[in-house]
Chain A
Amino acid sequence: MSKPVKQIHLAAHFPGVNNATVWSDPAAGSQIDFSSFTHFARTAERAKFDFLFLAEGLRLREQNGEIYDLDVVGRPDTFIVLSALAAVTDKLGLAGTVNSTFNEPYEVARQFASLDHLSAGRAAWNVVTSWDEFTGQNFRRGGYLEQEDRYERAKQFLAAAWELFDSWHGDEIVADRESGLFLAHPDPGGFDHHVRQFDISGHFNVPRGPQGRPVIFQAGDSDEGREFAASAADAIFTRHGTFESGKAFYADVKGRLARYGRSPDELKILPGVTFALGDTDADAREKAAVIRRQQVSGQTAIRLLEQLWNRDLSSYDPDGPLPDLDPVPGENTVARGRASVRMHRYPLATAARWRALAEEKDLSIRDLVIEVTGRQTFIGSPATVAAALNDFVQADASDGFILTPHLTPGGLDEFADTVVPLLQERSVFRTEYEGDTLRDHLGLRTPVPAAH
Chain B
Amino acid sequence: MPLSPQPLHLAVALDGAGWHPVAWREPAARPAELFTARYWTDLVAEAERGLLDFVTFEDSLSLQSSRPDGPDGRTDRIRGRLDAVLIAARVAPLTRHIGLVPTALVTHTEPFHLSKAIATLDHVSLGRAGVRVRVSGRADEFAHVGRRTAPARPVTAAAVRELFTEAGDYVEVLNRLWDSWEDGAEIRDVASGRFIDRAKLHYIDFEGAEFSVKGPSITPRPPQGRPPVAALAHDTVPYELVAGSAEIGFVTPRDADDARAIVARIRDAQGAAGRADETVHVFGDLLVYLDDAPGAAAERRARLDERAGEAYTSDAPVFTGTPTELADVLQEGREAGLTGFRLRPAALPHDLERITRALVPELGRRGLFRTEYGAGTLRGLLGLPRPANRYATA
Residues of A within 8 A of B (CB): 23-24, 32-34, 38, 57-60, 66-67, 69-77, 79-81, 83-84, 86-88, 102-104, 106-107, 110-111, 114-115, 117-120, 137-141, 168, 172-173, 175, 177, 180-189, 198-207, 297, 299-300
Check B36–A117 contact: CB distance below 8 A.
yes
Check A74–B218 contact: CB distance below 8 A.
yes
Give chain B's interface residue range (CB within 8 Å of chain A).
35 or more
What residues of chain B lie closer than 8 Å to A300, measured between beta carbons?
A: 193
Closest-by-CB residue of A relative to B194 is A69
The residue that B90 contacts in the complex, of A74, A83, A181, with Cβ under 8 A, is: A83
Task: Give the distance in Å from the alpha carbon of A115 to the alpha carbon of B85 in the complex.
Answer: 11
Residues of B within 8 A of A (CB): 22, 24-25, 27, 29, 31-32, 34-37, 41, 60-64, 70-71, 73-83, 85-87, 89-94, 108-110, 112-113, 116-117, 119-121, 123-124, 126, 140, 143-147, 181, 186, 188, 190, 193-198, 201, 210-216, 218-220, 307
Given A73-B186, A183-B79, A205-B61, A200-B143 contact (CB < 8 Å) = yes
Check B73–A79 contact: CB distance below 8 A.
no
From residue B32, how far is it (CB to closest CB) to chain A in Å?
Answer: 5
Check B146–A198 contact: CB distance below 8 A.
yes
The residue that A203 contacts in the complex, of B63, B93, B190, B197, with Cβ under 8 A, is: B63
The residue that B94 contacts in the complex, of A74, A87, A181, A202, with Cβ under 8 A, is: A87
Of the A-B pairs whose beta carbons lie under 8 Å apart in the complex, a sample of 17, sorted by A's number, is: A23-B188, A34-B126, A72-B195, A74-B219, A76-B120, A79-B117, A80-B120, A107-B145, A110-B61, A114-B87, A118-B90, A119-B37, A138-B214, A173-B35, A180-B25, A180-B76, A185-B75
The residue that A103 contacts in the complex, of B110, B201, B212, with Cβ under 8 A, is: B110
Check A299–B31 contact: CB distance below 8 A.
no
What residues of chain A lie closer than 8 Å to B145, measured between beta carbons?
A: 104, 106-107, 200
A-B interface, 3 closest residue pairs, ranked by CB to CB distance from nearest: A200-B146, A83-B89, A137-B214
What residues of chain A lie closer than 8 Å to B32, measured between beta carbons?
A: 173, 175
Task: Give the distance in Å from the alpha carbon of A199 to the alpha carbon of B148 in the complex.
Answer: 10
What residues of chain B lie closer than 8 Å to A181, measured between beta carbons?
A: 75-76
From residue B86, how far is it (CB to closest CB) to chain A in Å?
Answer: 4
From residue B118, how far is it (CB to closest CB) to chain A in Å?
Answer: 8
Check A60–B201 contact: CB distance below 8 A.
yes
Check A186–B116 contact: CB distance below 8 A.
no
Check A199–B146 contact: CB distance below 8 A.
yes
Check B86–A83 contact: CB distance below 8 A.
yes
Closest-by-CB residue of A relative to B16 is A182
From residue B360, how far is it (CB to closest CB) to chain A in Å?
Answer: 25
Check A24–B190 contact: CB distance below 8 A.
yes
Output the residue of B71, B79, B109, B190 with the most chain A CB within 10 A. B79
Closest-by-CB residue of B relative to A30 is B186
Task: Give the distance in Å from the alpha carbon of A200 to the alpha carbon of B142 in the complex.
Answer: 9
Check B195–A70 contact: CB distance below 8 A.
yes
Check A140–B110 contact: CB distance below 8 A.
yes
Check A182–B75 contact: CB distance below 8 A.
yes
Task: Give the distance in Å from the alpha carbon of A184 to the alpha carbon of B112 in the complex.
Answer: 38
From residue A202, how far is it (CB to closest CB) to chain B in Å?
Answer: 5
Check B146–A189 contact: CB distance below 8 A.
no
What residues of chain B lie closer than 8 Å to A110, measured between beta carbons?
A: 61, 83
Task: Give the distance in Å from the alpha carbon of A189 to the alpha carbon of B109 in the complex.
Answer: 21
Check A70–B193 contact: CB distance below 8 A.
yes
From residue A215, how far is it (CB to closest CB) to chain B in Å?
Answer: 17
Given A66-B198, A67-B201, A70-B193, A139-B110 contact (CB < 8 Å) = yes
Given A23-B188, A182-B76, A76-B216 contact (CB < 8 Å) = no
What residues of chain A lie closer than 8 Å to B85, measured between beta carbons?
A: 79-80
From residue B216, how far is it (CB to closest CB) to chain A in Å?
Answer: 6
Check B86–A111 contact: CB distance below 8 A.
yes
From residue B205, how far is it (CB to closest CB) to chain A in Å?
Answer: 10
What residues of chain B lie closer than 8 Å to A77, measured between beta carbons?
A: 113, 116-117, 119-120, 219
Q: List 19 other contacts, CB 8 Å, given A24-B188, A57-B218, A200-B143.
A: A24-B193, A67-B196, A69-B198, A70-B193, A74-B220, A77-B120, A80-B117, A81-B124, A102-B113, A104-B146, A139-B112, A141-B110, A182-B75, A182-B76, A183-B79, A188-B80, A201-B143, A202-B62, A206-B82
Check B76–A205 contact: CB distance below 8 A.
no
What residues of chain B lie closer than 8 Å to A88, measured between beta carbons?
A: 93
